[in-house]
Chains A and B, each alone.
Chain A
Amino acid sequence: MTTMQRSLALGISAWKWVAPSRLIRLLANVRFAAAVVTALVVLGLVGVLVPQVPEAARVDSTTMGRWLDARDAAMGPVAGWLYRLGIFDIFHSAWMAAGLVLLAASVVACTARRFAPIWRNVRHPVKVVPDAYLDSAHYRFFAEGQAVDATVLEGVLRRHHYSVERWQASGVEWLFADRYPWAQLATFLSHAALVLLITAGLVTHFTGFTARLFVANGGSDPVFPMGHSPAINVAVTNATSQSDSGGSPAGSSADLSISKNGTLAKVCTVTVTQPCTYDGYRFRQAFYYPYGADLQVRDVATGRVLYRDAVPLTGSKPAPRLTVTDSSGQVVLDEALAFSGAVGGVEGTSVTIPGVAQPLWAGLATEASGGAARLVLFEGGNASDAIRLDLPLHGEAIAAGLRFGFTDLTASPDAPAPALPLPPGASAAVPPTLQLLTGGLGQSPQLPQLSVVGVGSEPFSLKQGETATVGGYEYTFLDQKPFVGVEVKKDRGELLVWIGSGMLVLGLCLTLWLPRRRLWAKVGQDGLRMAGQAPRTGNLRRELEALASEAAAPPVPHSH
């Protein structure tokens, strides 16, 4: 055989293999379907066990870069290979897509192949069986010599929800009885549901719309970019949070005003679990964030308001709490400290303590080995009695006649505020930052307190309603303001999911739980012979016996 002939033969055999009939046979093969499902299970298991790319990283290359760097650090060179293979995003990988397509194709092929015989079995069942079947069927019963009236047996079967046909042949009464034969078709319902669910996922993936807004209480945000029609706007008119008696968060809600093209369209209250719907969009409170700072900046010379915005403080910074008491036991200072800079790599701030001549530097030191944080207090100058303290958490020490205590260490919200105007002539290498001292110090009337760093040469702190003037600009901390995460969503795939889920559950229940039965009975001189078919979960032999004895039992007299 020449090379060309061999190639031709190979091509023909390859064609035969992929020919539609063979392909359909393969797809309709139960073992193949089981193998596809097993492969999907393995992929899913990998997805559960191997860290997956977070949603935020998938849409932002910087976040993705940072996430991959972290994987590189943890896994070494393997991480690169896993990334290229799609293992870090397995549920959106080509592997998973291929598996789901194969599964859908397998279900369709299997359904197409099985439908005609099952339909025939339901619509045109074999009603006449040979005698040999009655003697050899898996489920059979012979009541030898038992005199049974075929009419009575028919009545008994009908009482047990069978549809019955009865006829005579050669002096013998035959019965064919069927119960819930249509339930055989339910398997197609559950298999079609799988295809529908996969389709729903595709619809969601390709047509779903999601916008995540971060709206301050009293503020508003557009759902779409400028120029989109219709223009839908969401305003949060009142955001509240509730706590239980123990102070734990018990829930939160937000009153929304939804407007379309500038006209108020709907007012509703949303919670985490109770969204509201308008124009096919679902508005849901994704989260409640209590830490925002409402700031205003005014030009003192002109009186013009240059800036007015609520800044969400989504970061976090440690805030050590320093307590100072004098010799009489009176508290002269009880404050959470917001850092304004670093000295020798230790972040801290200067603290003015009544009775101490000059401000102290208070910094939070952490050992390189990752040990516990310590509060370091340092008084400038070379005086022999200068304050030099190094306090562990909950530690106390006496210096200059005062008792210093490092009473607590909490995290306080902070964030950069690059849009905050700087005074004329001022410049900053890094944008100003805001830190809000709040919570955990319920007894302190000083809170909430906003610490502003990077606006002037020195940081300054503002209590609610307070103002500080720096270089001709007036900075006012108007209020602590909560933020609400509002998720706006439109997903046409969702309806398909609920229909698919209903079909799946219904199909499974009908297939597995409905007691389908089909039986044949022959009432002859020698007795009653019965045989039948039932799913594995049924104990048809026992049922046949019970039906026969019910048919043979004398009728119960009616009492009047």
Chain B
Amino acid sequence: MEPVSLAAFWLALAGSALGALLTWAPMLIRIPRPRTQLVTAGAPGAAGIPEVPGRTPTLLSQLAGPLPAFVLVALTVSLGARWYTTGHPPLTNMWEFTVAFAAAVSLFQVSFFRRIGQDLAGVLLQPLVLILLGIAADFPSRIEPLTPALRSGNILVLHVGVMVLAYGALTISFAAAVLQLLQASPRRIGRLPDWRRFDDLAYRSVVVGFPLLALGIALGAYWASTAWGRYWGWDPKETSALLTWLAYGVYFHLHGLRRWAGNRSAMVLVVAYGFVLFSYFAVNLWVTGLHSYAGV
């Protein structure tokens, strides 16, 4: 089943590359900026946010529509085949982490479709999924025996799975924050919605990711208690996960303040996502700690 896993992975990579191309191409084509409809508070739009008038999706966008679901299915097959081959959950090294991370982002992308519209979701996330899968392609995918501490199936799935889901949701908040900053600047892309739509999307995705991250850290503490004899030891990985959580906590507290609404909150999100990447990649690759077995 290992060849099936790898083939599905490469299919997902190709699908995400095509998706990124198809979603971004029409965005970058210069077209007249649509007139923004002035609406009063409480008029159509999520949480009172003005909506961009309806646009007919271009042919390219329509073609890109099913691709995120295709990528999600391919990644699920890849991880499933890997699980079948190794006999343990595919969450034990950087290749498996990163593929699972990309799958989580795709999952949230697909689940957010109904809410935010296909082309918007694609613009946000297709390039990010492509980057993640590109990074995964650079990690060795060979199957190695598990260290004894990792041979605890249920807690492995729960802890790492919840962390991957949390990071997937927070990836959406990062993408939304970047696009919010872009749309609030003079270089805004006319075909994309108003910055407030992205602000709202970023907030919603943090609402999903923040409790998941807390749960993931708590599950990690429980696992550390049984496997390492203590619930907390300031290991670089657990510390950086806590820092990530605290950074999003700062976002929650500042977001409600008038002076911090809008671009400043988006900046906080961009910085907070730096902590996600730091704890996801940097700590495993460059910092020695008890999670080092999860390295490349």
Contacts and interface: CB of A to CB of B under 8 A. Distances in A.
Interface stretch (B75-83, B178-186, B247-255): B247-255
B48 A273 contact: no
A272 interface: yes
A298 interface: no
A399 interface: no
A512 B207 contact: yes
Contact of B247 (A41, A47, A251, A508): A41
B157 to A, nearest CB: 14
A513 B42 contact: no
A542 B225 CA distance: 46
Interface string A9-48: 0000000000000000000001101100110110011011
Interface string B236-258: 10011011001101100110110
A138 B256 CA distance: 16
Contacts of A139: 42, 48
Contacts of A75: none
Interface string B257-295: 100000000000000000100000001000100000000
Given A512-B207, A539-B47, A48 B239 contact: yes
A48 B257 contact: no
A550 interface: no
A244 B243 CA distance: 38
B231 interface: yes
A47 B234 contact: yes
A537 B145 contact: no
A282 B246 CA distance: 31
Given A34-B250, A273-B226, A539-B47, A52 B151 contact: no
A251 B151 contact: yes
B198 to A, nearest CB: 14
Contacts, number: 125
Contacts of A271: 148
A308 B148 CA distance: 32
Interface residues of A, number: 59
Contacts of B210: 508, 512
A160 interface: no
Nearest to B217: A501
Given A140-B42, A494-B231, A37 B148 contact: no
Nearest to B223: A273
* Chain B, interface residues (CB within 8 Å), range: 35 or more
Interface string B209-233: 0110011001001100111011110
Interface in A450-506: 487, 489, 491, 494, 497-498, 501-502, 504-505
A536 B265 CA distance: 15
A384 B172 CA distance: 78
B24 to A, nearest CB: 28
B226 A505 contact: no
Contacts of A44: 239-240, 242-243, 246
A201 interface: yes
Interface of B, secondary structure class, is: helix
B249 to A, nearest CB: 6
Contacts of B148: 249-252, 271-273
A140 B40 CA distance: 11
A48 B211 contact: no
A121 interface: no
A144 to B, nearest CB: 15
A448 B214 CA distance: 50
B211 A505 contact: yes
B173 to A, nearest CB: 13
A494 B224 CA distance: 12
Nearest to B151: A251
Nearest to A485: B229
A513 B207 CA distance: 8
Contacts of A282: 229
B211 A37 contact: no
A517 interface: no
Contact of A487 (B229, B232, B246): B229
A30 B195 CA distance: 25
B240 A48 contact: yes
B269 to A, nearest CB: 14
Given A41-B247, A272-B149, A273-B151, A536 B239 contact: no
A91 interface: yes
A421 interface: no
A44 B278 CA distance: 13
A140 B43 CA distance: 9
A250 B151 contact: yes
B288 to A, nearest CB: 9
Given A34-B254, A41-B247, A512-B207, A494 B287 contact: no
A250 B247 contact: no
Nearest to B235: A48
Given A505-B211, A513-B211, A536 B47 contact: yes
B2 interface: no
27 contacts: A37-B249, A38-B250, A41-B247, A41-B275, A47-B234, A47-B239, A48-B239, A91-B239, A138-B41, A139-B42, A244-B145, A249-B147, A249-B148, A273-B227, A274-B226, A282-B229, A489-B230, A491-B230, A494-B225, A501-B221, A502-B218, A505-B215, A508-B214, A513-B207, A539-B47, A541-B42, A542-B46
Given A44-B243, A286-B229, A540-B47, 7 more contacts: A34-B253, A244-B145, A250-B151, A282-B229, A487-B229, A537-B204, A539-B46
Interface of A: 30-31, 33-34, 37-38, 40-41, 44-45, 47-49, 52, 91, 137-141, 201, 204, 210, 244, 246, 248-252, 271-275, 282, 284, 286, 487, 489, 491, 494, 497-498, 501-502, 504-505, 508-509, 512-513, 536-542
Shortest Cβ-Cβ A-B pairs, 8 listed: A501-B218, A248-B145, A508-B211, A91-B234, A251-B148, A44-B243, A48-B236, A487-B229
